[in-house]
Structure 1
Amino acid sequence: MDDFLNSASHLHMDDTDDPGHGSDVYSSKNENIWAENDDYVVVAAIDLGTTYSSWACSFRHEYKKDPKNMKAIICRTWNSGDNISEKSPTAILVKDDGKTLDSFGYDAENKYAQFAVDEAEELHTWYYFWRFKMLLYNKKISINMTLESVNGKPLPALKVFALTISYLKNDLLEVVGKKMVDIIKAGRIRWVLTVPAIWDESAKQFMRKAAVEAGIPNEQLTLALEPEVASLYCNVVPVELMDGGEALNFQTGTKYIIIDAGGGTIDITVHEVMGDGTLKEICRPNGGNWGGTAVDKAFEIFMRELVGSSVYDEFKKTDLDDYLSMLRDFELKKRKIEPDKNQTVTIRLPHCLNELFRERCHKDLAGTIRVKGDIDVMKGFFQMVLAEMGEHLKSLFGDASLHGIDTIVLVGGFSESKMLQTYIKSILPNKICIVPSEAGLAVLKGAVLFGHNPSAIGHRICRFTYGVNTSVTFVKGKHREDKRKQIGDEYLCVDIFDIHVHKGQSVKLNEKQAPIQYKPQTKEQKTISFQLYSSTDCIAEYVTDDSCRELGKITVNVLGRPHEDNTVEVSLMFGRTEIQVEARDKKTEKQFNTKIDFI
């Protein structure tokens, strides 16, 4: 019976040499260090978005002087050629070695388009990646997964994300580096990287790995959920009603919905302001892929139907510069669409597309698409994404936990769309809708605030039911016969889902779940490991149920464990941005390094 505890919890013993070190080692004590002292001088936030990205930072002493002073936050501005932009396109151009980043953002877009104009060899040998973040949404994440560039050349996805984060990190250090030379050398920077709240743990770990590969020390890195940090921002800056009126004050007891409408996803969470100033999540994060890029996809479907798939595909391949210019033009025009105005919208089609259409179809394509007096065609590009989001919002308000909540706060770049704002007001006419100033920067600036005060989100709601695989004494009539297994002289029921937290359960920031006790089999054993599972149901009986899936493996490094003691207590914590684990020697209280691998 060495393989089992007195409580009959099943152990999977892994007697390997891996001590649990590496980029995905993230024990709870790392976050506690940040939370309990001021051993850093700067908070640097990176918002890697689907369509646009940027960075911001602020100094600790400025924050402590006035936490609400948004002018103390340094935000990067980007030269787009015609004007100054708050964010830069999420695009990178990588040289043919697959390792060297040549350019980022507007520079990458322009240079790759010029390759197409010049018919340069680099058009086919270099790598151009654009709007790639959505790869991590609702997908099975693998550390070895690849991304295909615009010209069809594959690179490891981790390399693509790492190169992008590295550029933003180095650009920040270069822009404000004169003030930070000694700070950088001392490693006194807290880095904050934003991620959607609806991403799963494997996607979060992937982003952490990419950041570490980009040169950000693991112990200096914190992940922040995008709608959460946007909520922090809204609690600091004055927010006014969309139709005018006095600014709303987020007083104790205020409950509101945050809708973070970005390029790729729409992320939704619900918060209540607590008496100590922290925020309490009262509805589990939810949302979907209804961001601004869905409108772009609808436009491309329209164009494909207009000229035919074969013509459109050839146009994208042979006239990339004109293709990108067309999409840029559409991006600018879609922002100006207002549902109540009978506008004239002109989207200029490239001459080469007209020529290609004439050659293939033997007829002319108009040089422009004009919708005069009636803008239904342009509005139609928004129709599907708004309808899907609307159905979700209406069902969300059917949840009892949202009863009496009348305030909706819209943030993110897509939230500035009049089409989106008007639609939400039309389907929820009795709700108060708010768009704060600089809504497109709410996540970025909120991430800086979160870096200074990571305990600002005091309670979170579990998205799933979480537990581990255990075995218990088999009870006839209670347990399934196919789960009975004889171990020695005892019959056990295997694959039991030992629940730690339930879906929808409120968990506090530093709340530890009841510890699991494990006994290594031998004095020489270096690690113990067990599997972590999730379920979409509140109650799950076996880890093999249809609602369950294996999330990953938890490994505890027990090197240096006293020979006379053989019990290790492992506690899980679900109240932070990432699931965390803490392991300690039951007798000596010594903490062990731990590792959760979700990929």
Structure 2
Amino acid sequence: MAHIDDYLVVAAIDLGTTYSSWACSFRHEYNKDPKNMKAIICPLWNSGDHISEKACTAILVKEDGKTLDSFGYEAENKYVHFADDEAEELHTWYYFWRFKMLLYNRKISRNMTLESVNGNVMPALKVFALAIGYLKNDLLENVCKKMVDVIDADRIRWVLTVPAIWDESAKQFMREAAVEGGIPNEQLTIALEPEVASLYCNIVPVEITDGGKVLPFQGGTKYIIIDAGGGTIDITVHEVIGDGTLKEICRPNGGNWGGTAVDKAFERFLIGLVGNSVYDTFKKTDLGDYLDIFRDFERKKRTIEPGKTLPVPIRLPHRLNERFNEDNHTDLVGSIQGKGVTVTSDKLKMQSDVMQGFFKDALEQLGEHLKSLFGEGSLDSIDTIILVGGFSDSKMLQTHVKSILPNKRFIVPHEAGLAVLKGAVLFGHNPSVIGHRICKLTYGVKTSVTFENGKHREDKRKKVGNEDLCVDVFDIHVNKGQSVKLNEKQAPVVYKPQKNGQKTVSFQFYSSTDCNPEYVTDNSCTELGKITINVLGKTHDDNAVEVTLSFGGTEIQIEARDQKTGKATNTKIDFIEKN
């Protein structure tokens, strides 16, 4: 296999909550002109009704639970066709839609499952692997058509994007899914979505001088990137350094306030109109109509603006009215008048303020978060805010953020919805461009040290052989808020096995929301995973290993060496629960 530094192509995959796609560019074209966005190849996706720059995130899996039938709009349309024809596949196949948020803010295990829209269950890792594998294969098929010779797969650098606010277990899960989907682990780089969007904005000219000339950001410029996607809104703050690299000056933050939060508010509204029983039955038995409602809502929510007064029509399937009638012995049309909604035979017409109300919770949470960020005072001097991501096109979002921060300059760059995808390609060509990052948390390992009276808590004293040890000590490797450089290794920490002949040394790896936690049992601490190091089975005093962790990249890296010989030992860090 060729060394990855000999790559010919950078291929990026953005598996989003609502929309997904791939992009790539050739190394020789990037070297010729790194700022040439036209050199980045992006596909167009046909929904049947329109051409889109991204495909909806949906997969259709055959009844064996292993074979992917279709992806994106093709999967969606085919499944709607099953529903219309009441085909057997409607119940025996698996249709997954908007599944990425499963990985947000939860404990992740390799054996967790995903329930499909029609109630069938599959391993979550398999679902993600099939989706990533499809995008990988589609990229290869399309790019190879443009080449005289087939691209050597060993000479592709793959980049997979994830939200910056995801934890290490979610990043590892995505890496393992990509490997199962056919991407070699050693050729894969994980990229953080707001970071690569920032890189895109730093290369694509976004500033306009007094003379009307368009320029990229200059050295010393500080700006905030708000990456508003379907599932999450990621926020990061960067400074342009004189050498052209970017320095993170505020740890990544954000929440699950993306475009799907608006969809969920609309769904709660529908349930309030027809009742849980009717809605659940409709969703299970009339899936084609159910998907049509949300496809129509997706189109309408992109056009709604503050101050607009015209009612917004949403397609109302006849079957929903029938289900309501069967359950309530009355017609839906007459039962919901006067709620800001009117119903005709095939339309649900909502007053504009009702439609705007679906944005309320997500925008208020984002607004409170921004007020909190700027309330700390450290960001007051930053006057430029860049909005990217598919949700950034929403006038509702733009207007609300401007009302929260009225004295700031707002920029929505050209192709804001593709900023992450194209930025990921640029990042793949030059991963060192993000030169400094801020640690989100304090990281370290659980260890034991010689007990010291007056320093350690008495309840942490434990007798091991002839020695009194203090157990559950949080051995800090890096502190929350600390600025770390790319590829910068922390000072090595020496560990010894506690027993003679021990073949491996294992440590529990922890994080803390405190800067200087003392014990891993403190309320601020969370166990993240396990570090396992192979040792040589020598005597206790002659078997020390030096452990070095690096926190400046998009993933935490670990290295261990025999202290006496300097020889690297087999080491791994596992953030995913076994069960």
User: TM-score normalised to the size of structure 1?
Assistant: 0.90
Residues 1:377 and 2:354 are matched in the alignment = yes
Shift of 1:181: 8.4
Shift of 1:356: 2.1
Q: RMSD between aligned alpha carbons?
A: 2.2
Alignment partner of 2:8 out of 22, 28, 41: 41
> Structure 1's 415 and 245: CA in aligned 2 closer, same or farther, altered over 3 A?
farther
Give 5+ residue unaligned stretches, structure 1.
Answer: 1-29
Shift of 1:308: 1.4
> Structure 1's 369 and 247: CA in aligned 2 closer, same or farther, altered over 3 A?
farther
What is the CA–CA distance in structure 2 between the aligned matches of 1:267 and 1:450, rounded to whole Å?
18
Question: In the alignment, is the contact (CA less than 8 A) between 1:282 and 1:401 conserved in 2?
Answer: no
**Residues 136-535 of structure 1: pairs in structure 2 closer than 5 A:** 136-178=103-145, 184-185=151-152, 187-239=154-206, 247=214, 249-364=216-331, 365=333, 366-367=343-344, 368-371=347-350, 375-519=352-496, 526-535=503-512
Question: In the alignment, is the contact (CA less than 8 A) between 2:535 and 2:543 conserved in 1?
Answer: no
Residues 296-329 of structure 1, C-alpha deviations (whole Å, 9 max, x = no match): 1111111111111111111111211111111100
Residues 129-185 of structure 1, C-alpha deviations (whole Å, 9 max, x = no match): 000000000010001100001111110000000000000001111111245686744
What is the CA–CA distance in structure 2 between the aligned matches of 1:452 and 1:562, rounded to whole Å?
47
Give the secondary-structure state (helix, strand or coil) at the position aligned to 1:197. Answer: coil
> Structure 1's 223 and 408: CA in aligned 2 closer, same or farther, altered over 3 A?
same
Shift of 1:528: 2.5
> Structure 1's 186 and 325: CA in aligned 2 closer, same or farther, altered over 3 A?
closer
Shift of 1:560: 11
Corresponding residue for residue 566 of structure 1: 543
What is the CA–CA distance in structure 1 between the aligned matches of 2:571 and 2:359, rounded to whole Å?
46
What is the CA–CA distance in structure 2 between the aligned matches of 1:181 and 1:499, rounded to whole Å?
54
Shift of 1:292: 0.2
Shift of 1:99: 0.2
Structure scoring higher RCO (CA < 8 A, sep ≥ 6) equals 1
Shift of 1:249: 3.5
What is the CA–CA distance in structure 1 between the aligned matches of 2:51 and 2:328, rounded to whole Å?
42
Give the secondary-structure state (helix, strand or coil) at the position aligned to 1:74. Answer: coil
Question: In the alignment, is the contact (CA less than 8 A) between 1:240 and 1:435 conserved in 2?
Answer: no
What is the CA–CA distance in structure 2 between the aligned matches of 1:562 and 1:54, rounded to whole Å?
54
What is the CA–CA distance in structure 1 between the aligned matches of 2:548 and 2:147, rounded to whole Å?
38
1:319 partner letter? D
Give the secondary-structure state (helix, strand or coil) at the position aligned to 2:385. Answer: strand
What is the CA–CA distance in structure 2 between the aligned matches of 1:561 and 1:451, rounded to whole Å?
42
Shift of 1:562: 13
Alignment partner of 2:522 out of 521, 535, 545: 545
Question: In percent, how many aligned pairs have the same letter?
Answer: 78
> Structure 1's 561 and 486: CA in aligned 2 closer, same or farther, altered over 3 A?
closer
Corresponding residue for residue 65 of structure 1: 32
Question: In the alignment, is the contact (CA less than 8 A) between 2:443 and 2:479 conserved in 1?
Answer: yes
What is the CA–CA distance in structure 1 between the aligned matches of 2:86 and 2:547, rounded to whole Å?
60
Give 5+ residue unaligned stretches, structure 2.
Answer: 334-342
Give the secondary-structure state (helix, strand or coil) at the position aligned to 1:98. Answer: coil
Structure 1 window deviating more from structure 2 (335-344 vs 87-96): it is: 335-344
Residues 425-467 of structure 1, C-alpha deviations (whole Å, 9 max, x = no match): 1111001111000000000000000000011111111111111
Question: In the alignment, is the contact (CA less than 8 A) between 2:537 and 2:543 conserved in 1?
Answer: no
Question: In the alignment, is the contact (CA less than 8 A) between 1:561 and 1:585 conserved in 2?
Answer: no
Structure 1 window deviating more from structure 2 (576-585 vs 181-190): it is: 181-190
Shift of 1:355: 2.1
2:253 partner letter? N
Give the secondary-structure state (helix, strand or coil) at the position aligned to 1:203. Answer: helix
Shift of 1:246: 6.5
Structure 1 window deviating more from structure 2 (478-487 vs 260-269): it is: 478-487
What is the CA–CA distance in structure 1 between the aligned matches of 2:148 and 2:572, rounded to whole Å?
33
Corresponding residue for residue 339 of structure 2: none
Corresponding residue for residue 583 of structure 1: 560
Corresponding residue for residue 61 of structure 2: 94
Corresponding residue for residue 116 of structure 1: 83
Corresponding residue for residue 22 of structure 2: 55
What is the CA–CA distance in structure 2 between the aligned matches of 1:453 and 1:479, rounded to whole Å?
47
